[in-house]
Amino acid sequence: MSKKDSLAFYFFGHKVKIYAFYNIVSNVNDIILALFFIIGSVYFFNDKTIFNGTICFLLGSIQLLIKPLISITKDIHINFLIRKDKRKG
């Protein structure tokens, strides 16, 4: 198995390149993060919806925490696949 093939895995029955998978997950996280902050900002224009805006900002902040966790998970996953490939070969 080549190094390139060793950095792929099966996800719902489909072979996925690990870098592409985590890139998509990170981009989706960024889009959700942006939406929370945009919606929260719009809610802050009206005094009646400031609480909702605060909730959106809180959720956006949690999304900020998720981004480095995605990166750490990717690194651990790559390390696992490389070690698994070395044991086989």
For residue range 43-89, what is the model confidence (pLDDT) as tens digits? 999 999 999 999 999 999 999 999 999 999 999 998 988 888 788 76
pLDDT band at 1 (very low <50, low <70, confident <90, very high): very low
63: containing domain: 3-88
What's the pTM value of the predicted model, to 2 decimals? Answer: 0.78
CA distance 54 to 23: 29
Task: Give how many domains the chain has, as a whole number.
Answer: 1
How far is residue 39 from each of residues 18, 30, 65, measured CA to CA in Å?
32, 14, 19
CA 32 and chain centroid, separation: 10
